[in-house]
């Protein structure tokens, strides 16, 4: 980090010694660190997960070559907040004590040495990836950052950033462009290979990243692609920690506890899991000191986490936004929601999971429900509901496919999928509008409009009257056959292949989702949750 004169009252290397005794701080010599890790996507998640684990490894005596150079791919705000702080920031782990009162443990993280802002200086990012100290390039860019088609998993060559990066070698914009051009420079400079490590919530994240990098590299230079394929490693990993967005109220509260201002602290739950495949091209720190686990195959851990944690999270989030429940703990305080999630996991998700020797699934589920109920996190349901087009395939639809293949029912999953479709309306049950933040937002809006038209048409054609009549407010239609309008509406939306693949052609799937949509539209979220499992009328 470029040396900046300490600002009075601001977190900085010079203010570390005066922090209250209960605040943990880097006990190692920061000046001796070198950035062996270049991290792309320096959001709150990376700062509360990878950096926290890496910091713990450094405290435990890891080699001084394992500092981090962080890269923000879009905005300058993280750099602007952290550069005047010498790269230091606080991590606040929040939970509720036995008495239900919020508790917080603060650690100042010291391993972030430099923050680059890619659009300001793409050359600096490429130079870092191609730097002699760099041994790992890690990535947290969220699902949409892979520029792939979520249903097929193929690189989207029509993506504007990918098209740009193929045409403009010197100044990439996308993660994939930076990786390939950076690796190209490394190879040209005669430097050794690195590990490229995905830490995003995607199945086989390392394999997916490798496939995207190779698909791009093949278009640049076949020999480069062959070198990457043979020499670089792309381990898969499962990452788990709930990291809500930092608010101004959090900043104020944390400043009070630190005694100095931190422009961008991060918050998280105390729980952390990181299971990573032990395949590294140029060494790695011993992250076990910070709670990581090294394995041969991360796949069963990923499936467990994506289906249970993220599947349940997305189910809760979309339904809650519609119901006006703004935070996850508020939603969990609704008994019908807590029961729904428990049943969803126990009855529908858990039977699809691969065996994991030694895992107590019941304990995992119960702990997860407690994690969601953590009242100290205030995790916004809208934050989780965003980017549904990128999240649904691995979080919910893979589980639906497993249920369909085993000829098993999936009413809870159907309600979760219906929840997302219902959420795409952009207006909650009380008439509050919200934006649909999603890379496919335009396509989704068009589909939504045509689904409404299809429903009106089908409603008018059938004996049941018009579409509006199919939404019989307050009437329990949950157990009934879905009306023609509901089927038409659901069929139009689930016909979106980039998200649903061939599921939209499966009548069992469309019917189950249409039935859940019917329940949501007629009873509202709370009513639909409460009506679950009631004996079918008649």
Contact residues: ligand CS2, CB under 6 A: 201, 240-242, 309-310, 313, 383-384, 391
| Nearer to ligand CS2 (CB atom), residue 31 or residue 363 | 363
Shortest CB 180 distance to ligand CS2, Å: 27
- Give me the residues paired with residue 95 across strands: 103
**Residue at token pair 């690796």:** 183
Shortest CB 314 distance to ligand CS2, Å: 6
| CB-CB contact of 471 with 463 (8 Å) | no
Shortest CB 328 distance to ligand CS2, Å: 9
- Rg of the chain over CA atoms, in angstroms? 24
> What is each CA distance from 388 to 418, 438, 510, in whole angstroms?
12, 7, 18
| Nearer to ligand CS2 (CB atom), residue 391 or residue 521 | 391
Shortest CB 202 distance to ligand CS2, Å: 11
Tokens in use for 456?
A: 């009106």
Phi and psi based region of residue 313 (left: phi greater than 0; alpha: psi -120 to 50; beta: remaining): alpha
Q: How many Å apart are CA 514 and CA 494, to the nearest integer?
A: 10
| Distance linking the first and last C-alpha atoms of the chain | 70
The CB-nearest residue to ligand CS2 is 313
Shortest CB 225 distance to ligand CS2, Å: 31
Residue 480: other Cβ atoms inside 10 A: 16
Instruction: Determine the angle formed by the axes of helices 160-167 and 205-220, rounding to 10 degrees.
Output: 40
Residue 55: other Cβ atoms inside 10 A: 27
| Nearer to ligand CS2 (CB atom), residue 187 or residue 379 | 379
Sheet with 67-72, strands from edge to edge, namely: 112-117, 67-72, 35-40, 136-139, 195-198
Classified as helix, coil or strand, 1 is coil
CA nearest to 70, candidates 40, 31, 111: 40
Shortest CB 526 distance to ligand CS2, Å: 22
Shortest CB 201 distance to ligand CS2, Å: 5
| Nearer to ligand CS2 (CB atom), residue 198 or residue 518 | 198
| Nearer to ligand CS2 (CB atom), residue 214 or residue 242 | 242
| Nearer to ligand CS2 (CB atom), residue 244 or residue 459 | 244
CA 173 to chain centre: 20
Shortest CB 58 distance to ligand CS2, Å: 23
| Nearer to ligand CS2 (CB atom), residue 242 or residue 413 | 242
Residue 351: other Cβ atoms inside 10 A: 13
Shortest CB 267 distance to ligand CS2, Å: 12
- The secondary element (H helix, E strand) that includes residue 89 is strand 89-96
| CB-CB contact of 319 with 529 (8 Å) | yes
């Amino acid at each position: 980090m470029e040396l900046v004169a300490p600002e009075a009252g601001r977190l900085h290397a010079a203010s570390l010694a005066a922090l209250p005794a209960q605040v943990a701080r880097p006990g190692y010599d920061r000046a001796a660190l070198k950035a062996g890790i270049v991290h792309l996507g320096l959001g709150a998640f990376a700062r509360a997960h990878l950096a926290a684990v890496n910091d713990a490894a450094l405290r435990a005596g890891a080699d001084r070559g394992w500092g981090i150079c962080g890269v923000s791919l879009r905005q300058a705000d993280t750099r602007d907040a952290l550069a005047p702080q010498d790269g230091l920031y606080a991590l606040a782990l929040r939970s509720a004590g036995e008495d239900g009162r919020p508790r917080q443990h603060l650690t100042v993280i010291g391993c972030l040495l430099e923050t680059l802002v890619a659009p300001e200086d793409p050359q600096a990012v490429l130079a870092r990836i191609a730097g002699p100290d760099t041994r790992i390039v890690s990535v947290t860019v969220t699902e949409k950052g892979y520029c792939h088609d979520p249903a097929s998993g193929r690189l989207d060559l029509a993506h504007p950033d990918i098209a740009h990066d193929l045409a403009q070698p010197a100044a990439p914009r996308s993660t994939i462009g930076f990786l390939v051009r950076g690796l190209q420079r490394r190879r040209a400079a005669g430097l050794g290979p690195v590990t490229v490590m995905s830490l995003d919530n995607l199945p086989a994240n390392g394999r997916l990243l490798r496939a995207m990098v190779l698909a791009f590299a093949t278009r640049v230079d076949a020999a480069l692609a062959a070198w990457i394929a043979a020499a670089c490693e792309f381990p898969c990993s499962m990452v788990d920690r709930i990291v809500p967005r930092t608010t101004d109220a959090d900043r104020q509260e944390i400043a009070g506890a630190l005694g100095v201002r931190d422009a961008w602290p991060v918050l998280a739950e105390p729980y952390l899991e990181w299971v990573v495949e032990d395949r590294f091209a140029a060494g790695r720190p011993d992250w076990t000191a910070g709670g990581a686990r090294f394995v041969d195959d991360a796949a069963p851990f990923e499936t467990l986490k994506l289906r249970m944690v993220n599947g349940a999270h997305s189910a809760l989030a979309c339904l809650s936004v519609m119901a006006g429940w703004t935070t996850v703990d508020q939603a969990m305080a609704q008994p019908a929601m807590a029961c729904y999630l428990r049943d969803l996991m126990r009855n529908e998700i858990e039977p699809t999971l691969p065996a994991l020797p030694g895992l107590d699934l019941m304990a995992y589920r119960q702990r997860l429900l407690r994690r969601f109920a953590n009242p100290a996190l205030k995790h916004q349901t809208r934050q989780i509901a965003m980017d549904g087009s990128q999240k649904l395939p691995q979080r919910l639809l893979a589980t639906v496919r497993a249920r369909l293949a085993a000829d098993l029912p999936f009413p809870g999953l159907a309600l979760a999928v219906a929840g997302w479709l219902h959420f795409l309306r952009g207006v909650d049950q009380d008439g509050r509008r919200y934006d649909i933040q999603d890379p496919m937002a335009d396509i989704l809006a068009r589909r939504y409009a045509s689904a409404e038209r299809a429903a009106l048409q089908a409603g008018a054609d059938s004996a049941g009257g018009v579409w509006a009549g199919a939404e019989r407010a307050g009437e329990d239609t949950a157990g009934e056959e879905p009306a023609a309008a509901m089927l038409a509406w659901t069929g139009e939306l689930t016909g979106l292949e980039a998200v649903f693949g061939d599921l939209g052609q499966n009548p069992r799937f469309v019917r189950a989702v249409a039935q859940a949509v019917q329940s949501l539209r007629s009873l509202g979220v709370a009513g639909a949750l409460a009506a679950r499992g009631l004996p079918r009328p008649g």
